[in-house]
Amino acid sequence: MPLPLQLPETFAQIPRYKILYSNPSPIHPLTSIATPRISPHRPLITIHAKREDHSSPLACAGNKYRKLEYIVPDILSQSPLYHSHENNPTPPGPLQGAATTLVTEGAIQSNHTVQVVALARNLGLKALVLLHRGTGGGLAAASDKDAFQRSGNVQINHLLGAEVRVCEEGDPLAQDATPFLDELRASGENPYWIPGGASLHPLGGLGYARAAFEIAAQEEEMGLGGSGRFDYIFVACGSGSTVGGLVAGFKLLEKIRGLDVSKTIGERRKIVGILNSPTKPRAYHEGRVLTFARKAGELIGLDGERDIAIEDVRLDDRFVGTAYGVLDGESKNSLETMARTEGMVLDPVYTAKVARGMMHWVNEGEVADSAKPLEQVNVLFVHTGGQAALGAYADIK
């Protein structure tokens, strides 16, 4: 059995409800796609995958369960604090009594909604999801639009017993679900709102701050060559708190180990968030991730403003494709490459684009640090789950 994570006291005291397995999500090598060392002037590059899709016994395991672990204690409280929609201009006070219904939102093929619904079933609560037809381009690009709206994650939401409401493009509920939550309260329910991706929830970044400590513990067990750690960590950046949490967690680790976290040091590991949507410019996402990292950092014992800077946020927008949820040709090739060389199935919305970005960085030499060449560079690809959505993408064969 793995030893318990050694979290600093401030972090360890934050309430957490266990949703994940007792063992850390596994890390394994991706030997078939690793690039051999072809020149003494280029480093040996190792590539590993951290399987967040193997992290929990609940349905469609993926990265959202980590975030939800720190939200559940508030959900189960007799006076939950963070239950209202973030756009509500006059948010109500704490709920009177524990929540009875989890309410969340997402795109038609949202992984997040499935994980919230599975959690609700596990807790004995009702679940209601708002699916937005107008989010991204997955539905518009689908060759079989009816199948896209009833298969994949939509099918699983129904199987889990969720009440599913589809919001048409322009529906006011797509911007603010407050009126709907008010209706539920008037009917006698105690609804608890979880924002899409859980990123805007005040506790949404804590799960991946904890994951940073888990990765560091696994690095020590693995005995990696070179720097002894993963020099680059590639992960999807959608709503942003997965990346932000990792930034905060590794910053805290650096502080514990005596590094000056107020400065950017070239030898530090680099967390690279691969953006999956061209809807907003990269600068917008960088600002969001910085906000989430600082918010999580302050909760776990950092000084958010002093310890975490915009230079700590590295996002790459070169692989977003034409729209959120649309699998472009090059990302499809990456999905097929992973399946046919490593036997590992990715999802069409997030991890296929991350794999494409990671392989570009590796193959084009972008993981090599010209300022301080390394004999070995260790790369980690974070598989955040989402494979259930493949069923809705009829063009993938």
Angle at 35 between CA 31 and CA 39, to 5 degrees: 140
Same fold, 9-59+202-392 and 63-194: yes
| Predicted pLDDT at 268 | 73
SS3 at position 391: helix
Number of Cβ atoms within 10 Å of the Cβ of 28: 12
| Predicted pLDDT at 373 | 62
The domain segmentation of the chain, as residue ranges, is: 9-59+202-392, 63-194
| Predicted pLDDT at 97 | 84
Contact of 262 with 310, CB cutoff 8 Å:
no
Q: Indicate the residue type of 160.
A: L
What's the rounded Cα separation, in Å, for the pair 177 and 105?
A: 9
The first and second tokens of residue 297, run together, are 């950092």
What's the rounded Cα separation, in Å, for the pair 397 and 376?
A: 36
| Predicted pLDDT at 129 | 97
Q: Which residue has the tokens 């994940």?
A: 20
The first and second tokens of residue 171, run together, are 């529906």
| Predicted pLDDT at 25 | 98
| Predicted pLDDT at 114 | 98
| Active site members | 110
Contact of 238 with 350, CB cutoff 8 Å:
yes
pLDDT tens-digit profile, the chain (397 residues):
566 788 999 999 999 999 999 999 999 999 998 766 556 667 889 999 999 999 999 999 999 999 999 999 999 999 998 888 887 776 777 778 889 999 999 999 999 999 999 999 999 999 999 999 988 889 988 989 999 999 999 999 999 999 999 998 888 888 889 999 999 999 999 999 999 999 999 999 999 999 999 999 999 999 998 889 999 999 999 999 999 999 999 999 999 987 654 444 445 789 999 999 999 999 999 999 999 999 999 999 999 999 999 999 999 999 999 999 999 999 999 999 999 999 999 999 999 999 999 999 999 989 976 545 668 899 999 999 999 999 999 877 6
| Predicted pLDDT at 262 | 45
Number of Cβ atoms within 10 Å of the Cβ of 291: 19
Q: Which CATH architecture has domain 9-59+202-392?
A: 3-Layer(aba) Sandwich (3.40)
Is 63-194 in CATH node 3.40.50.1100? yes
Burial 160-187 (b: 16+ CB within 10 A, else e): bebeeeebeeeeebbeebbebbeebeee
| Predicted pLDDT at 370 | 52
What's the rounded Cα separation, in Å, for the pair 308 and 294?
A: 6
Angle at 97 between CA 81 and CA 186, to 5 degrees: 95
